[in-house]
Amino acid sequence: MIIDTYGEATKNRIDEDRIKPNYDGYNLYNVPNSILDVFGIDGQERLADSIFTYFRGQYEKVVFFYLDGFGYDKFTDPAFGSRLNEAFVQNGYLCPITTVFPSTTAAANTTINTGLPPSDHGLLEWILYFDEARTVALTLPYRPIVKRYRKRFENMRPANLFRGETVFHKLRSEGIRSVSFLKSNIVNGEYTKLVQDGSDIIGYSYITDGLLLLRNEIMRGAYDYYYFYVDNIDHIGHVYGPESDMYRVESSMISNMIVDMFRQIPKENLKNTLVVVTSDHGHIQVDSSRMIYLNDKKKIFRSLKSDGRYKIPPVGSPRDVFLFIKKEYLDDVIRYAQKEFSGAFIDRVENIVFQQFFGPRKPADLALRRAGNMLIVPPGNEMVWYRLPGMRDSHMKGMHGGLSEKEMTIPLAFGDASKLF
């Protein structure tokens, strides 16, 4: 069954193509809070009743699939979502919701694992400036962006990434056992340790062994919440683009493998089990050769704030650029950028905060310090970025982070496991 939430989910429109997040029950951040509610834990920020009416039930277990980079447009396309989409349409429920802003893994993944919007957790992007250490860092890999910041990065602490309670910790405090299935190369990362706190972790090498490990654990029945993260679709999307045959085959193959995995499990092992599938963002096809570099816009680059030695570079991504502009030049730089980047969404960060781009509440000081004071979101499939000494130019063919409907709209699929497969 398809639940018609499109109108509500996308009602906060900027224009014909761009939408703001709808945190009022139609957002990714409402999903982990609804899962907590299923387990009888504080669900005040759960999904809207139009969705939660079907989401609730007498479930004892939840299996949660997080398919990175699988937007609603592709999930619902038979050439991409294949049998997984069919399973939920025919025997469960499927609807579109919005992801958080920025529409990136760093912000969305932290939301999924904490139940907090970006305004609260403060981890807005893959590349951020941390004024605590005066360094620019890659957040999820937890390392300096270029050699210039290596010495300063020594003053960083993992806790700078996130301070707070995870969904898994909340579950554990109520005696609810959880396990997370993650790629082996990220299992021991500093970021992983923070946002998976409270969960047992099982590393896997490929989607094949990962799903078999998940199958075995479901049949063993030792856990109540099973969290499974898949990064393959997102990776292929970046390398080849979401319109490529490679992306289509990868997403379809993984979708079918998930269905096949469940069909290998005896029905009695799936009783009272809720299956939830969602993503963190979609993708758009881009042409990196058309990237506009801010280094060439002298008026902007000269106006950047300094950290004492270097200018604070733009952070975020080529689809959502956050700038630290000297206060006295801000209005002038905004007017200049609006002329230079025709069709781009450009505004003061304080204005997008007021309009609840980052979340339904006033952001914590941490989020505000990291977002600078000016935002540029390029139009269409255009990209705006910058060059730092030692940083390679992007050659990606698929991107996200912006406000286009393809980037912002994600699937929420769920249903009773014993009926779905």
Global pTM?
0.94
pLDDT on residue 215: 97
Tokens representing residue 384 in the block: 């705006």
Tokens representing residue 372 in the block: 């600078």
Average pLDDT of the chain, as a whole number = 93
Q: What is the mean pLDDT of residues 393-401?
A: 91
Beta bridge mates, 306: 311
Helical residues (DSSP H) of 129-196, grouped into ranges: 150-153, 167-173, 190-195
Contact 25, 113 (CB under 8 A): no
pLDDT on residue 103: 97
Percent of the chain with pLDDT over 70: 100
Q: Domains in the chain, please, with CATH?
A: 6-121+162-284+404-420 (3.40.720.10), 287-395 (3.30.1360.180)
Q: Which residues of 295-319 are buried (b: 16+ CB within 10 A; e: fewer)?
A: eebeebbebbeebeeeebbbbbbbb
Tokens representing residue 64 in the block: 């949660």
Tokens 């699937």 — which residue?
A: 411
Which of 158-162, 210-214, 328-332, 407-411 has the least mean pLDDT? Answer: 158-162
pLDDT per residue as tens digits for the range 183-207: 999 999 999 999 999 999 999 999 9
**Cα separation values, 354 from 26, 292, 373, Å:** 19, 28, 13
Residue 163: band (very low, low, confident or very high) from pLDDT cuts 50, 70, 90: confident
pLDDT of 81 > 80? The answer is: no
pLDDT higher at 391 or 126: 126
Name the DSSP letter for residue 29: T
How many other C-beta atoms are found inside a 10 Å radius of the C-beta of residue 361?
Answer: 12
pLDDT per residue as tens digits for the range 86-112: 999 999 999 999 999 999 999 999 999
Residue 225: band (very low, low, confident or very high) from pLDDT cuts 50, 70, 90: very high
Q: What is the mean pLDDT of residues 384-400?
A: 89
pLDDT on residue 282: 96
Query: Which run of H or E residues covers position 83?
Result: helix 82-91
Contact 320, 108 (CB under 8 A): no
pLDDT per residue as tens digits for the range 362-385: 877 777 888 899 999 999 999 999
pLDDT of 148 > 70? The answer is: yes
**Cα separation values, 415 from 166, 277, 377, Å:** 24, 9, 36
pLDDT of 43 > 70? The answer is: no
Residue closest to 407 by CA, chosen among 107, 103, 23, 126: 103
pLDDT on residue 205: 96
